[in-house]
Structure 1
Amino acid sequence: MDKKQIKVSCEHSYKCNCKTECYGSGKDRSCSRTCSTCYSHSYDYDWIIVSSIETIKEESDKYSLGFYSIDIPRVDRQGIKEPSDWTKIRLKEPMTLAHKYTNHLKNNKFSLFSSKKETEYPQYKAYKIDYPEIYNHIKISNFINVNLKSLEIHQINTYLMEVNSEVGPGLQGNLILILSKDLGTDFADFVLSEWDGGNKNDIITFVNLDLESKINWVYIHCLAEYSIFEISLRNKLLDYKNPILSEKEVKELISNIKETAFESYKRKPMADFEKSK
């Protein structure tokens, strides 16, 4: 990741040097007004965060850098003053990028891969969780602590972002870990129904703990090419016998997910589902 201040053409135009010309006389007389375009400044500045992920040829590259970038909003019209949000971002920290795409699965509610269901889950309404959204321009909270009180969420999320900085470019995957305690297996159905199945590259791992803080069920939701990934990951996490009591154990779970993903995960291409649209 890098930070850049880039000089760009001024975006603040106005009409200037206007003149009116008239032709003819009487009923045949007509006039027209023409103006030039002037600019408030000779140039503007953009403040951007540059990722280490190369742009795809078909996609536009605003600054011709060859890498995806994020614009930080200016704090003055010309962009002379350095934005505090730009200043706060540290070099080499992990960043999250959002990409638009057409999800053909969500167009077909009858698809086996669609999670849009009619079932109601009144017992879980108190545990409703939102799909992770980007905040502070580059950060995201992909570790979701449903009802455990003793975990340091910030440090775990920072670690998960670091892991996703490898899983994203390497596997086109996005790890999301949802940790709960003493909830039924249909809690996963409830969340996936609320999220409409998530996004195409999500690897959503549900881990539930019993009253002794040990794992008692695991569910993995993803569009993997082969089911061996879900089976292997589920077995590996269920074999983890230590109580989940601290940041250390959660990071070990994340490491296990990453390791298994690089061993056997392959994302199913969205092109395979185009006939669903």
Structure 2
Amino acid sequence: MIEQKDVDFLYETFLDFIVEDKQNLLKTFSERFQLAVTMEVTLTNCKPELYNRVHTKTLKLSELWYCFELLTTATEYGFGNLKEKSEEERNMEWLKTQRVSVMGKIEAEKPKKQNPFVNVDSTYTPFGKARLLNEKYFHDKWFFFAYESMLWAFTLTHVQSDKLSRDTMTISLSRYLENLTKQAQGEQIHFLTRGYNSLMGNSSDRTDSSYILSFIYALRCCYVHQGELPDSYQIPIEYKEFIVDECIKFLTGYCSLAYSTVIDELYLS
């Protein structure tokens, strides 16, 4: 489980670096991010307190994701990776090289869209536009150790609870990942599949950030586009709160680290 002190340290580092952005290169992100981190929502209805609390936390996680997407601005200043070609794109390129006739090369046929809502887009990114951030810049920073601690500590299963058994959490998470994968498209499916064992806690290695971000993106998409509720997919609400809390902590720390790294590189290095 991620220690809150590591998240707080990275967020405080982010706050310290705001004054260094004298050209306001990431001003929109920093202002939106502060609103997201400190946001508190109160619901007035007949639902139980825990139900409302989980719903508002999911709303906060979704808002943090929109902030994460704003970090694409950083790629304009040299902090991006080249977009990797998807498997679909590579297959299409190969097909084009094979389509020849006596009349010369034939253009590859475009895939037919039987249903535009499930058609795989070969340009689809697995966890949003901010995927383009190049994390190699993180590693040489003095504040990186807190992020490293978060990566090692991130878990969706290793939680002590008097109300939930380990078996209940394991079965619930497995079912949830299965449903998220069914709702996903393109590369997102592959990321969720490859990250399954890591997210389930079946690997001794630390969980890769791409798997965590892919999971958060899938959760956010299911909430935004599929109308997910705190008790959807038969997940115990107490467990759903733990999952959302862990994702909020990770995304808050990740965004704080990314911003601080960019500002430090641009102005102070």
Smaller-chain TM-score bracket:
under 0.3
TM-score in terms of structure 1 length: 0.22
**More helix by percentage:** 2
Please report the TM-score for the alignment, with normalisation by the length of structure 2.
0.23
